[in-house]
Amino acid sequence: MTGAVEGRLRRGELGSFLRSRRARITPEQVGLPLGGRRRTPGLRREEVAQLAGVGVTWYTWLEQGRDINASEQVLSAISRTLRLDPHEHVHLFTLAGAPEPPAGEQECAVVTPSMRAMMNQLDPYPVAIRNARCDLLGYNRGYAWLVGDIDAIPFEDRNTMIQCLLNPGWRERMLDWEDNIPRVVASFRASMAEHMAEPAWKSLVKRLKAESPLFAELWSRHDVTTERIRTKRYRHPEAGLLTFDFTYLFAGNRSEISVSTYTPADAETEEKLRRHGPAYLG
């Protein structure tokens, strides 16, 4: 494939990506009035351009896949406007042919200050924030204590599907892993129905099929489910057996960002969490 053809395909994918992300943001989410009936959901192009501080024509050309250059500052402004999560933020820069964004920009507006405050307030109860692709966008000390040292995991591997299937350390802590993983893969496949053409999803599936024979076998079944796991058991190296009930909260009506809270399912887990958890460790 020549460089010109590859560039054209990449710009076309960039346009599709921007349109899909624009469609999921409501005017209310960015403080705009509804302004009458809309033909399609989400923001209009001119609204994105206005909020990002760029020209409407320029932004239209970007969505149309025109051969134009976008600075890092402009891409960051578009990312903030569309509320891209950290992985989508990096993906935007890749499709635009821009250098990888600075590490400090990996924390994007999708995890709001109120979400971070809630995570901190719930310590030592574990809390994790994920997108539909299972990328780990945020977590508190309780969650890191439960599953292991997340900060030591490369940013691109902070995905619960990758860790559950490819990290033996995570599997050792999840007592019901063998029973739950088929449902996890089936739920992931159901979520992918709305993202079939997205390279980030396709590359994740390709990697998991290549590196995990179990995932490849489960994926070949084409099972799907929207039923979520409500209780999980963990074996912590210091605290021993822990049982948690799950609650899933979503950031909005069409949002794919979920906040998962882990609350002790019994008094024994509650006591162990208080005695051995992150608050005890300091």
Residues 264 and 142 placed together within one structural domain of the fold: yes
Beta-bridge partner residues of 174: 234
Cβ(35)–Cβ(27) under 8 Å?
yes
**Which of the pair, 277 or 143, is modelled with greater confidence?**
143
**Paired tokens of 82:** 């569309």
Boundaries of domain holding 129? 113-281
Amino acid at 72: E
pLDDT higher than threshold 70 for residue 18:
yes
Predicted local confidence at residue 35, as pLDDT = 63
Task: Name the domain boundary from 74, 106, 138.
Answer: 106
Residues 93 and 180 in one domain: no
- pLDDT attached to residue 201: 87
Most confident of 69-78, 238-247, 270-279: 238-247
CA distance 44 to 26: 10
* Selection from 61-70, 107-116, 260-269 with the highest mean pLDDT: 260-269
In this structure, are 260 and 122 located in the same domain? Answer: yes
pLDDT at 226 over 90: no
Q: Tally the domains of the chain.
A: 2
- What is the pLDDT confidence band of residue 281, given thresholds at 50, 70 and 90? very low
pLDDT digits (tens, 9 = 90+) for 175-225: 999 999 999 999 999 999 888 877 788 889 999 999 999 999 999 999 999
Q: 120-151: per-residue pLDDT in tens?
A: 899 899 999 998 899 998 999 999 999 999 98
Is it the case that residue 2 has pLDDT exceeding 70?
A: no
One domain for residues 94 and 135: no
Per the prediction, the chain carries an average pLDDT of 86
228 shares its domain with 131: yes
pLDDT for the residue numbered 278: 81
What is residue 265's predicted lDDT score, i.e. its pLDDT? Answer: 96
| Long-range CB contact pairs, 24-31, < 8 A, 24+ | 24/254, 24/255, 24/256, 25/81, 25/82, 25/83, 26/252, 26/253, 26/254, 29/83, 29/252, 30/81
pLDDT at residue 172, as a whole number: 94
pLDDT over threshold 80, residue 252: no
Mean pLDDT of the region 245-257: 78
CATH number of the domain at 86, please. 1.10.260.40
Q: What angle do CA 232, 236, 270 make, to 5 degrees?
A: 65
